[in-house]
Amino acid sequence: MAADVIATCVAEKPNCVLGLATGTTPIGLYADLVSDYKAGKISFANVTSFNLDEYVGLAGTHPQSYRYFMNDNLFDHVDIDKARTHVPDGTGDDDQRVSDEYEAAIREAGGVDIQLLGIGPNGHIGFNEPCDEFPVRTHRVELTESTRKANSRLFDSIDEVPHFARTMGIGTIMRARKILLVASGAGKAEIVRKALYGPVTPRVPASILQFHPDVTVVVDAEAGSRLD
Ligand code: PGA
């Protein structure tokens, strides 16, 4: 269902700007988009994309980097022009430069038409972790131990999980014209309820979506089990 929302966007506006996400949840969505492409239903030839985030310290060739994930799950299997696919640069120390360039590139592309989001068990969107104030722009963030632990399943050990990431800010995400939030599994049930119906607070970063005018939420039965 979520893949169809994106496919419709691509079909209606072939030069659309997609905001993309990594994680386990959207893997099936990307597989469906690849099938749609192979069936001749959609083309990504004129699509531009911006991913939410990247680990600091991992080059795009590292198998756990988000650039690698995107190539592996989507970009290598469709007709997208890789030069128009953007993932925050995880290398180097110049956080300000990465932030300024990423924000400018999104602006120059005309803004994001639809932003895909997963949600962390702690309510993070992108790598915007629970904190005291909503971060506005693309920035460097220190990952919480719970996030490093949750993501360690994809690494050989938790010691290999980076401590820092670069992520779109909450302001960057909120400027997308449409938002598509996906969640699956019982482990997300409580945070999905809190994000959609609890108080809007930077302690639950996804709760800000209550203020966005065009949000679609796609959950499976387990992740939606605490919703009325
Ligand atoms: P997941 O990650 O899809 O692997 O659960 C979501 C997230 O942490 O944003």
Q: What percent of the chain has pLDDT over 70?
A: 100
pLDDT in tens, 88-115: 999 999 999 999 999 999 999 999 999 9
113 a catalytic residue? no
4 a catalytic residue? no
- CA neighbor of 87 nearest in space, from 52, 62, 42, 58: 52
What single letter denotes the amino acid at residue 15? N
* Dist. CA 209–CA 181, nearest whole Å: 9
- Determine the 3-state secondary structure of 97 from DSSP: helix
In this prediction, residue 199 carries a pLDDT of 98
* Dist. CA 93–CA 20, nearest whole Å: 24
135 lines ligand 1 (CB under 6 A): no
Topology of domain 2-167+178-219, CATH: Rossmann fold (3.40.50)
- Between strands 178-183 and 215-219, the pairing is parallel
The rounded Å distance from CA 100 to ligand 1 centre is 26
Written as six digits, the tokens of 54 are 């990247």
pLDDT in tens, 163-179: 999 999 999 999 999 99
Task: Report the predicted TM-score, pTM, of the whole model to 2 decimal places.
Answer: 0.97
* Dist. CA 183–CA 225, nearest whole Å: 11
The rounded Å distance from CA 48 to ligand 1 centre is 23
Domain parsing of the chain, residue ranges: 2-167+178-219
Cβ atoms 164, 141 nearer than 8 A: yes
The rounded Å distance from CA 9 to ligand 1 centre is 23
